[in-house]
Amino acid sequence: MTTNKAASRMIAAATGIVMGFGLAAAQAADPVKIGLLTTLSGDGAGLGVDTRDGFMLAVTEAGGKLGGVPVEVLTVDDARKPEIAVQAADRLVKEDGVSLMTGIVFSNLALAVVPKVTRDDVIYVSSNAGPSQLAGAGCSPNYFNAAYQNDNLHEATGAAVEQAGLKRMFLIAPNYPAGKDSLTGFKRYYKGEVVQEVYTKLGQLDYAAEIASIRAADPEGVFIFLPGGMGINFVKQFDQAGLKGKIKLYGPAFSFSQDILPAVGDAALGVINGAQWSTDLDNPANKAFVAGFEKAYGRLPSVYAMQGYEAAHIMGAGLEAVGGDVANRDGLRAGMKAAKFDSVRGEFRFGNNQHPIQDLYAREVVKDDQGRLVNRIVAKVFDDHVDAYAADCKM
């Protein structure tokens, strides 16, 4: 009897071990949950759609995996409203149990969401918004930016305008964090006279008053940061007012991104814009990305699509480093920081504040051999550019 009882206990213990291994294996096989919170409705929805499509292309190309690890992407619309974004992020973290997040387009939403989710030990990889507050003193080990710091592309444009020798510029941006960063960045490298600096309502679509002010000020050039529908309307109205060809128009990539060029039409031809990437960058990874995106979605990728794609690959670098063990936060962060993947930008690395150190370019809107409006690189403006706030980050 004693022997039988002992044997029974041994069998039960062995069965428990086997069941434990089985449960561990099942848990290990569970996909890593990623929250993709972005703008999919209302003004600015096109930017979120491109972000989502770029991210999902990377997942699809890898057979539902990133870094060889199965992933489940939970996509949520923030409707470009901070209160909705905060509530959605809270659900993704507390109810859905995401380990990683990405997707926010607008900086006011990022400032509302990112500090809280990173304090909750979720790793956030920005696919667009790069407010100065999160690049400097507010940097976090759990925050990476796959795109840029907000000032960067405006800095490139400011430097290009300075190199072109324009002496008098009129500046326009929406009145929100990225708008303020944009004009700060432009003025950091443009040393001429700013005849007027105007902050408009975010989402504004009628620019009659601003165009009247431009006409009265008679500058040599106008710099705009007006992403999405804002930029579409401004450029069309600028052209309709007869100012195209009389006053040179400049902006960052967002205001002349591939997603809006078809809607703007020929009014965008000849505009110079600053960017960290272009469809015509000559490297194998970029050629494959552009061809793959066009095949999957029937359109050329925008800078937002590229940034979503790269955010996915940065996450993949981290997941590969830890074999999918997202509980190993230190290893996951280290894998992302090392950024071991083939970037469509060519060379890519993170600075101390986990924002990109990257080349920046001036692009011109032209027509390609199929008659499509596209951007083409006309000059490299900066090599290995470091953002202005990295020194304030104590990491």
Q: Report the C-alpha gap between 246 and 235 in whole angstroms.
A: 14
In sequence order, the 6+-apart residues with CB closer than 8 A to the CB of 136 are 353, 389, 390, 391, 392, 393
Domain of 181 in residue numbering reads as 151-275
Other beta carbons within 10 angstroms of residue 22's beta carbon come to: 10
* The predicted structure's pLDDT at residue 332: 98
According to DSSP, the β-strands at 32-38 and 248-252 are unpaired
Q: Report the C-alpha gap between 153 and 173 in whole angstroms.
A: 14
Q: Report the C-alpha gap between 201 and 313 in whole angstroms.
A: 35
The answer on 253 and 200 residing in a single domain is: yes
The answer on 182 and 138 residing in a single domain is: no
Does some domain include residue 12? no
* The predicted structure's pLDDT at residue 29: 61
Question: Cα 74 vs. chain centroid, distance in angstroms?
Answer: 18
Sign of the C-alpha dihedral computed for residues 168, 172, 175 and 178 taken in this order: negative
Q: Report the C-alpha gap between 294 and 290 in whole angstroms.
A: 6
HEC per residue, 110-128: HHHHHHHHHHCCCEEEECC
Does some domain include residue 164? yes
User: Of the candidates 275, 307, 335, which is a domain's last residue?
Assistant: 275
Q: Decide: pTM greater than 0.95.
A: no
The answer on 144 and 292 residing in a single domain is: yes
**CB distance 317 to 339 below 8 Å:** yes
* The predicted structure's pLDDT at residue 255: 87
* The predicted structure's pLDDT at residue 228: 84
Q: Give the number of domains in the chain.
A: 2
Does some domain include residue 190? yes
Give the CATH number of the domain where residue 44 resides: 3.40.50.2300
Q: Report the C-alpha gap between 277 and 290 in whole angstroms.
A: 12
In sequence order, the 6+-apart residues with CB closer than 8 A to the CB of 212 are none
Does some domain include residue 352? no
Instruction: Please name every residue paired with 34 in a beta bridge, in sequence order, or none if there are none.
Output: 73, 100
Does some domain include residue 395? no
Three-class secondary structure of residue 295 per DSSP: helix
Does some domain include residue 142? yes
Which pair of tokens denotes residue 379?
């000059």
The tally of CA atoms less than 13 A away on the side-chain side of residue 24 is 7
* The predicted structure's pLDDT at residue 95: 98
User: Of the candidates 346, 368, 390, which is a domain's last residue?
Assistant: 346
The answer on 134 and 224 residing in a single domain is: no
230 φ, ψ (degrees, to nearest 5): -60, -50
The answer on 170 and 190 residing in a single domain is: yes
* The predicted structure's pLDDT at residue 44: 87
Instruction: Please name every residue paired with 346 in a beta bridge, in sequence order, or none if there are none.
Output: 343
The answer on 140 and 62 residing in a single domain is: yes
The answer on 264 and 223 residing in a single domain is: yes
Which pair of tokens denotes residue 154?
């405006």
The answer on 155 and 266 residing in a single domain is: yes
User: Of the candidates 223, 257, 275, which is a domain's last residue?
Assistant: 275
Cβ burial of 337 (10 Å; 0-12, 13-18, 19+) is buried
Does some domain include residue 7? no
The answer on 309 and 224 residing in a single domain is: no
According to DSSP, the β-strands at 100-102 and 65-66 are unpaired
379 φ, ψ (degrees, to nearest 5): -165, 150
Does some domain include residue 382? no
Number of H helices, E strands in the chain: 13, 14
> pLDDT (tens digit, 0 to 9) for every residue of the chain, 395 residues total?
444 444 433 333 333 443 444 444 334 469 999 999 999 999 889 999 999 999 999 999 999 999 999 999 999 999 999 999 999 999 999 999 999 999 999 999 999 999 999 999 999 999 999 999 999 999 999 999 999 999 999 999 999 999 999 999 999 999 999 899 999 999 999 999 999 999 999 999 999 999 999 999 999 999 999 988 899 999 999 999 999 999 999 999 988 999 889 999 999 999 999 999 999 999 999 999 999 999 999 999 999 999 999 999 999 999 999 999 999 999 999 999 999 999 999 988 999 999 999 999 999 999 999 999 999 999 999 999 999 999 999 99
Please name the residue that has the structure tokens 């199965």.
Answer: 70
Give the angle subtended at the CA of 169 by the CAs of 165 and 170, to the nearest 5°: 165
* The predicted structure's pLDDT at residue 330: 98
The answer on 141 and 91 residing in a single domain is: yes
* The predicted structure's pLDDT at residue 32: 98
Buried b (16+ CB within 10 A) or exposed e, 348-374: bebbebbbbbbbbbbbbbeeeeeeebb
**CB distance 144 to 196 below 8 Å:** no
The answer on 59 and 129 residing in a single domain is: yes
Report DSSP letters for 160-172, one per residue. HHHHHT--EEEEE
Report DSSP letters for 342-359, one per residue. -BTTBS-EE-TTS-EEEE
Q: Report the C-alpha gap between 348 and 357 in whole angstroms.
A: 7
What are the Cα distances from residue 14, in Å, to 17, 18, 248?
Answer: 5, 6, 78
The answer on 95 and 143 residing in a single domain is: yes
